[in-house]
A and B are shown apart, each in its own frame.
Chain A
Amino acid sequence: MKKVSISFTLNGDTVSAEVPPTWTLLKTLREAFELTGAKEGCGVGECGACTVIVDGQTVNACIYPVPEIDGRHVTTIEGLADKEGNLDPLQTAFLENNGVQCGFCTSGMIMSARSLLDDNSSPNEDEIRTAISGNICRCTGYVQIVESIDIAAKKA
C-alpha cells in the first residue's frame, strides 16, 4: 500500500510520519508515535476511550482518517502535564478522588473534561455529564468521575 506523508503538531511538537492512508489517527498515535494513552475500546466511535483533541475539539481518534491530520494540532493525554511533569489539575483530581478504577476510559474521559473546562471554567453537574456523555466507563458508575471534574474545576 502506498503510504502518505503527514506532518502535524503533536502535544506542542512538530512531527511527521509516513503511514498507510487507511490508518486512523488512533493507530498512528499508538503505533507510529508510541503514545498509548488513547485507547481502543470499540473502534467505531461509541465508547470515547480514544478521545483526543484536534484543533481545540474532541474527536474519536478511532474513526478519524489520518490523512486529514496533516497540518493540524493534536493534544493527547500525554500532552496535558507541563514540561516539568506537573500533572493537569484534572489528572490530579482523578487520582485523588477515585476517578480512576481500571483506567481504560480515563484518558478519553479526561480529554473530554479538558475540552469542557477550556470552554466553561465552572460547569454545573448537568454540563459535566453532557460533556462526558460520549465516554463510557464500565467501572466507576460515573459518580467519582463527575466529582473529580467538579473538584478540578473548582481548584483551577
Chain B
Amino acid sequence: MIDYEYLKPASLDEVFDLMKKHGSKAELVAGGTDVMVFIKQGNHSPEVLISLRGLTDLCYIQKNSAYHIGALATHRMLEQSQLVKEELTALQQGSSQVGSIQVRNMGTLGGNICNAAPSADTAAPLLVLDAVAVLQSPEGQRRVPIEEFFIGPSETVKKNDEVLVEIEIPSEMGRFKTAYCKHARRQAMTLPIIGVSVGILLEKDVIADARIALTVAAPTPIRVRQAEDFLKGKPFEEGVLKEAGEIASSPECCMPRDSLRCEGWYREEMVRILIPRVAMAAVEE
C-alpha cells in the first residue's frame, strides 16, 4: 500500500532540516515525473516525500559571466527559452524531446540529472556543454563536472544530504555550435535507442575545438575524447566527420549493450552514422 507523508518546505534550510530528520526514509521530489511513477509502480516506497517545488528561487535561466540554470527549471522553460535555443542549442533540443508537453511542464532539469537514467535526454547535451553540477549541503557547496556526476544507471556522486541547486555552463560554450539527436522509434513519447550530441567550435573552416557525447552507449552518458581529439585542427568536411564517427563507434570508445529496445550492434552503427549528421546539423543551425 502506498503511504507517505508529503512535506512542503519553503526554503533550502528547511529542506536540509527535513532531510536530516527523516534520513533514508525520505525522498526528494521535484516535478515528480520519475518519482511518482516509481511509487505508483511499486518500485519506491518512501515514508516521506520532501517537495522541492516550494523553492521557486531555484527556477531560473540566467546568463552573466556564465550560464546558470536553476535545478527546478522545467524542460518546458528550457524548450521555450530563446537564450537556450540560440546559445545552448543542444540542451534546448534535449529538453524539448523529453516525454510530452505535460511531462515537460512538470519535469525539471535537476530531476532528469539526479534520476540519472542512462537514456536521460539532457545528459549528452550537458556533457557537450561542459556543464557543472552545483551541489549544496548544510556544510556548503561543491561543484562537480557533469562528466564525473554519473557513476552508473540511477547512480550519481550526489550524497544523501546534498541537493542539486544549479547547472552552470561556462560562457565560452555559447560560442560552440551544438546539436542533439535522439534516435528513437517514434517522434515523441519514447526513450532514445541512442542519443548523440556534438559541439563544434569553428574558426574560419577549421575545427578549433570539439565535443562529442553519447547516451545509451555505455552504463553512463560518456564523452568520446578520441574522436574529439581527432577533429581538432581538421577542416570541417564530411570526410573528416565520417572518420570521427568511425572512431567513436569503435570498441575502444563505445560498447553499447543489447537491450529490450535494441541490440548493441545497431547502436554502434548509429553512432557511426549520426556523428557526422549531428555535427552538420549543429553547424547548419
Which residues does A use to contact B, with CB under 8 Å? 1-2, 4, 21-22, 24, 43-46, 48, 51, 57-60, 63-65, 67-68, 112, 115, 130-131, 133-136
Q: List residues of chain B with CB under 8 Å of any chain A CB.
A: 2-6, 8, 29, 32-33, 36-37, 40-41, 49, 51, 53, 76, 99-103, 105-106, 187-189
Do A134 and B29 contact each other (CB < 8 Å), given the known contacts A1-B3, A63-B36?
no
Tell me the number of A-to-B contacts counted with CB atoms below 8 Å: 78
- Contact indicator B6/A65 (Cβ below 8 Å): yes
Q: What is the bound-complex CA distance between A80 and B41, given in angstroms?
A: 32
For the complex, give the distance between the alpha carbons of A46 and B4 in Å.
24
**Given A46-B189, A133-B188, is A65 in contact with B29 using a C-beta cutoff of 8 Å?**
yes
Contact: A51 with B41, CB < 8 Å?
A: no
| Chain B hits for A58, CB < 8 A | 101-102, 105
| A60-B106 contact, Cβ under 8 Å, with A4-B6, A65-B51 | yes
* A59–B5 CB distance below 8 A: no
Question: Which residue of chain A has the shortest Cβ distance to B51 in the bound complex?
Answer: A68
Q: Is the CB of B32 within 8 A of A133?
A: no
Q: Quick check: A43 and B40 within 8 Å, CB to CB? A: yes
Distance of A22 Cα from B4 Cα, bound (Å): 6
For the complex of A and B, the 7 pairs showing the least CB-CB separation, nearest first, are: A134-B100, A133-B188, A21-B6, A63-B36, A57-B105, A67-B6, A60-B102
Bound-state CA distance A60–B32 (Å) is 11
Complex-state Cα separation, A46 to B41, whole angstroms? 13
